[in-house]
């Protein structure tokens, strides 16, 4: 198998704090932008043959800076994203083209703590013929449904429930077709690519994600990630 990689980094990161701090994929953890750590993992992974990074047009200078601070990789290309994550992914898939690529891994730039073991687990499933592979972690907390007034209305069974992570991996042509079909129906609100595969009727295989593979969403997440990397460096 040969894997193209799409890294979506075109979000504005409004949830991470005030806009002056900039999008979270460019905030510093361990002395470098988040995106550098994410890129380096794929640069070091032998099965990644081409990497497309999807950025916001306003972030060209931030992206160039991140590239300069990442491991050298002459397979990285860049394209512009759109208003929703789903649209940004489709732009990345189109940029990837199908030049010799059998599969694609689609990853959020804001998850810098992926590890090579997880990538290998995902690749093994693709190798065995899976159409779509989703790394996920079983939900550990007891789940409650609450009402608008702040009262618990129900305890929800967590049996069989998982938190979805990225990178999510697919055979290239079927996921490109599914994304294209989703776009043509006018839907732009799918929050992950496995959901598009499910919608298109592709079987999605679960593999063990990693508890370390956190999504950096808030200012607090960035601070924790920074502390983690600084601790590891000691």
Residues in contact with ligand C5P by the rule CB under 6 A: 8-11, 25, 54, 81, 83-85, 88, 108-110, 191
Tell me the closest approach of the beta carbon of residue 58 to ligand C5P, in angstroms. 12
Q: Cα–Cα distance between 177 and 215 in angstroms, integer?
A: 27
CA distance 107 to 40: 13
Least Å distance between CB 55 and ligand C5P? 8
Which helix (H) or strand (E) is 104 found in, with range?
Answer: strand 103-108
Residues 6 or more apart whose CB falls under 8 angstroms from that of 87 comprise 81, 183, 188
Q: Residue 234 CB, nearest distance to ligand C5P (Å)?
A: 28
Minimum gap (Å) between residue 194 Cβ and ligand C5P: 13
Between 76 and 130, CB nearer to ligand C5P: 76
Among residues 126 and 216, whose Cβ is nearest to ligand C5P?
216
- Smallest separation (angstroms) from ligand C5P to the CB of 147: 26
Query: Among residues 105 and 110, whose Cβ is nearest to ligand C5P?
Result: 110
Q: Within a 10 A sphere around the Cβ of 46, how many other Cβ atoms?
A: 10
Shortest spacing between CB 16 and ligand C5P, in angstroms: 9
Give the residue at shortest CB distance from ligand C5P. 11
Kindly tell me which of 30 and 167 has the beta carbon lying closer to ligand C5P. Answer: 167
Residue 155 or 180: the one with the smaller Cβ distance to ligand C5P is 180
Whichever of 87 and 176 has its CB closer to ligand C5P, that residue is 87
Name residues whose C-beta falls within 8 Å of residue 13's C-beta, 6 or more positions apart in sequence: 22, 23, 24, 25, 110
Structure tokens at 92: 């990345």
* Cβ 106 vs Cβ 92: under 8 Å: yes
Q: Other CB atoms closer than 10 Å to residue 196's CB: what's the count?
A: 26
Indicate the helix (H) or strand (E) that contains 197: helix 193-199
**Which residue, 177, 192, 166, 171, is CA-closest to 128?**
171
Nearer to ligand C5P, 36 or 130 (CB): 36
Min. distance of Cβ 221 from ligand C5P in angstroms?
11
From CA 84, how far away is CA 120, in angstroms rounded?
29
């Amino acid at each position: 198998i040969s894997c193209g990689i799409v890294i979506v980094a075109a979000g504005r990161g409004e949830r991470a704090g005030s806009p002056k701090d900039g999008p979270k994929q460019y905030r510093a953890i361990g002395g470098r932008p988040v995106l550098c750590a994410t890129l380096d993992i794929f640069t070091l992974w032998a099965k990644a043959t081409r990497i497309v990074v999807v950025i916001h047009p306003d972030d060209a200078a931030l992206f160039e800076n991140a590239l300069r601070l990442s491991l050298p990789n002459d397979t990285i290309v860049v394209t512009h994203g759109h208003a929703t994550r789903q649209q940004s992914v489709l732009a990345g898939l189109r940029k990837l083209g199908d030049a010799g690529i059998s599969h694609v891994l689609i990853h959020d730039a804001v998850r810098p703590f992926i590890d090579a073991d997880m990538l290998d687990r995902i690749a093994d499933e693709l190798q065995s013929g899976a159409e779509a592979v989703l790394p996920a972690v079983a939900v550990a907390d007891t789940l409650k449904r609450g009402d608008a007034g702040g009262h618990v209305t129900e305890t929800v069974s967590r049996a069989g429930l998982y938190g979805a992570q990225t990178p999510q991996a697919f055979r290239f042509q079927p996921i490109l077709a599914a994304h294209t079909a989703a776009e043509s129906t006018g839907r732009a609100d799918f929050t992950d690519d496995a959901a598009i595969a499910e919608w298109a009727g592709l079987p999605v295989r679960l593999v063990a994600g990693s508890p370390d593979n956190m999504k950096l969403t808030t200012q607090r997440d960035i601070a924790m990630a920074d502390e983690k990397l600084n601790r590891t460096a000691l």
